Amino acid sequence: MTGIKTSSESVHIVGAGLAGSEAAWQVAHAGVRVILHEMRPGRMTEAHRTDGLAELVCSNSFRSDDAVNNAVGLLHAEMRRLGSLIMRAADANQVPAGGALAVDRDGFSAAVTRALDDHPLIEIQRAEIDGLPPADWRNVIVATGPLTSAPLAAAIREITDEDALAFFDAIAPIVHRDSIDMSAAWFQSRYDKVGPGGTGADYINCPMTREQYDGFVDALMAGEKTDFKDWETNTPYFDGCLPIEVMAERGRETLRHGPMKPVGLTNPHDPTVKAYAIVQLRQDNIPGLENAEFARLGGLHRNTFLNSPKLLDAQLRLRAEPRLRFAGQMTGCEGYVESASIGLMAGLYAAADARSAALAPPPATTALGSLLGHITGGHIETIDAGQRSFQPMNINFGLFPPLASPPTKKPDGTRLRGNDKTIAKKQAMSARALSDLDRWIADSLHVAAAA
Ligand SMILES: Cc1cc2nc3c(=O)[nH]c(=O)nc-3n(C[C@H](O)[C@H](O)[C@H](O)COP(=O)(O)OP(=O)(O)OC[C@H]3O[C@@H](n4cnc5c(N)ncnc54)[C@H](O)[C@@H]3O)c2cc1C
């Protein structure tokens, strides 16, 4: 990086997980001193097992490494171009996993720990920050993750004025529109209600016969379930958003009289037959969804995260106290790679602040820009309208702005259709992202993009 100058102002980073480790690397790489505070091993979280930095608490996968067709693969590529330590350590500790990037977790964490330990501008302090960071820390990144220790979580709750930062949350799946079979499904709002901002045909409805409903409920009840760990048993469900299997356990007809009720809807493909139940949820045998492609699967986990669109500014600073910047899963992204990528951006912003320099945001067309847009702009609010609508998200092409002129033809001049069209769109979005990122790096960071 050219134009480096050292600064006497240190950046304090709290939490040396995926996000905090990447943030520390970026800040130090910009020539600014870092003090990295990690509470392990003195105090452990409920999921971490080691004292290593950037410990992977569950799977060892960074998911797809395909930068051409897959949004998380694209995020990998963008991070590599920005000199990411997390990606460098992952690449160096790769284990065979087909098209995915999976790592030897111990080697990966050891590589990150060593790189940060060895950096002359980084000091690692092993202690819990058990309240708001001291007032004389003027440039702070809080990256304490979904399992933030209780005293710090309480202090954050107090200054953000939010009732709850953690709950078991059921996350709705997201299905690619193109992949739904509209010869079985149809658009209609219940009772054709137009509502504020609607058209009367705002939902995609997938009908079920009695047999299909019974099969669905049986499969749901028989499905494999995750056991709660001890520390999870006291965390409540977010009751506006119960997992579907929890509802089904309350009675065979509960779903049919609840979210899957078939009233106020008429199937234009078969108007005289009343559906027994109607769903918009994933099951391989739900008519219309056999070939559905999912941008996000439904899920359930304990999570501590901020209502970021309301609380954070575009540079991830707490509006109420801008010396505090947030990064990682706490900001409402989901996943190892996404957490590290937001750490990367928080690091770049904090380093720019320390050097009294301005940093333009990454283009909205990039994976980094799209994810930041979701976090600080709350893109999803328009989809999940209602209370507490901001939900953690993996990176996916649904977060990217649409293409100005989507591809319509194959190289041989024939028309693109169905799946080919979706693939061509993703590829065009990826190409646009990388070329816009390179321009941003050259203009804003004065770094020669890696080949
Ligand atoms: C149980 C569980 C399983 C998950 N499994 C996966 C998975 O398989 N794949 C995936 O992609 N994502 C998974 N995630 C989601 C997410 O990607 C990870 O949690 C990821 O580690 C988040 O990165 P982070 O940097 O935000 O937080 P972390 O990596 O958790 O880092 C936070 C760090 O802050 C430290 N800390 C906390 N409080 C304090 C404090 N007060 N003072 C000092 N240090 C503190 C912690 O010790 C930790 O080292 C999982 C999450 C959980 C909770």
Query: What are the residues facing 170 on neighbouring strands?
Result: 300
Share of the chain above pLDDT 70, in %: 80
Q: What are residue 14's DSSP bridge partners?
A: 37, 142
pLDDT, residue 377, reads 84
CB distance 59 to ligand 1 below 6 Å? yes
Output the CA 130–ligand 1 centroid distance in Å: 17
422 has pLDDT over 60 = yes
Place of tokens 């790489």: 29
**Cis before 41? omega within 30:** yes
Q: Is 339 in the pocket of ligand 1 (CB under 6 A)?
A: yes
Instruction: Tell whether ligand 1 has an atom less than 6 A from the beta carbon of residue 243.
Output: no
- How confident is the model at residue 6, as a pLDDT? 43
DSSP classification of residue 286: S
Q: What angle do CA 318, 27, 18 make, to 5 degrees?
A: 75
Instruction: Tell me how far the alpha carbon of residue 45 lies from the centroid of ligand 1, in angstroms.
Output: 9
Residue at token pair 């790096």: 441
Residue 433 parent element (H or E): helix 418-440
Beta pairing partners, 384: none
Q: What does the pLDDT look like over 87-140, one tens digit per residue?
A: 999 999 998 887 889 899 999 999 999 999 999 999 999 999 999 999 999 999
Ligand 1 pocket test, pick from 157, 227, 336 with the greatest ligand atom count within 8 Å of Cβ, gives 336
Ligand 1 pocket member 332 (CB < 6 A): no
Which residue has better confidence, 216 or 143? Answer: 143
Q: b or e along 356-388 (b: 16 or more beta carbons within 10 Å of the residue's beta carbon)?
A: eeebebbbbbbbbbbbbbbbbebbbeeebeeee
The minimum-distance atom of ligand 1 relative to the CA of 145 is 27
Q: State the pLDDT at residue 4.
A: 42
For CA atoms 115, 324, 445, 32, the dihedral sign is negative
Ligand 1 atom at minimal distance to the Cα of residue 43 = 47
Residue 2's pLDDT band (cuts 50, 70, 90)? very low
Q: Are the beta carbons of 1 and 445 closer than 8 angstroms?
A: yes
pLDDT digits (tens, 9 = 90+) for 202-233: 678 899 999 999 999 998 888 877 665 555 55
Query: CB of 72 closer than 6 A to ligand 1?
Result: no
Residue 238 confidence (pLDDT) above 70: no
| CB of 39 closer than 8 Å to CB of 128 | yes
Whether the CB of 336 sits within 6 Å of ligand 1: yes
Q: Residue 328: CB within 6 Å of ligand 1?
A: yes
Looking at ligand 1, which atom is closest to the CA of residue 48?
47
Give the whole-angstrom CA distance, residue 138 versus residue 250.
Answer: 51
- Nearest residue (by CA) to ligand 1, atom 49, is 17
Distance 47 CA to ligand 1 centre (A): 8
Tell me if 39 CB under 6 Å of ligand 1.
yes
Checking phi first, is residue 378 left (phi over 0); if not, alpha (psi -120 to 50) or beta? left
Q: Which residues make Cβ contacts (< 8 Å) with residue 212, sequence separation at least 6?
A: 276, 277, 285, 286, 287
Percent pLDDT > 90 in the chain is 57
Tell me what pLDDT residue 286 has: 55
Q: Distance from CA of residue 196 to its chain's centroid?
A: 29
Local confidence band at 451 (pLDDT 50, 70, 90 cut-offs): very low
Q: Is the pLDDT of residue 259 over 60?
A: yes
Distances (CA, A) of 103 to 87, 107, 137, 272, 344: 10, 8, 35, 55, 20
What 221-230 contacts at long range (C-beta under 8 Å, 24+ apart), as own/partner pairs, is: 221/245, 221/248, 221/249, 226/300, 229/46, 229/47
Give the residue, 285 or 164, on which the prediction is more confident: 164
Contact 329 CB / ligand 1 (< 6 Å): yes
- What band does 249 get if pLDDT is binned at 50, 70 and 90? confident
pLDDT at 289 (0 to 100)? 63
Report whether pLDDT(160) > 90.
no
Going by alpha carbons, the residue nearest to atom 4 of ligand 1 is: 58
73 pocket-lining for ligand 1 (C-beta < 6 Å): no
- Whether 128 lines ligand 1, by a CB cut-off of 6 Å, is yes
> From start to end of 24-60, where are the E strands?
32-37
Q: 433 C-alpha to center of ligand 1: Å? A: 28
Q: What digits encode the pLDDT tens for the residues 280-316?
A: 543 333 556 666 666 556 655 557 788 888 889 999 9
Ligand 1 in contact with 58 (CB < 6 A)? yes
Q: How far is the CA of 72 from the centre of ligand 1 (A)?
A: 18
Distance of CA 302 to the CA centre of its chain: 14
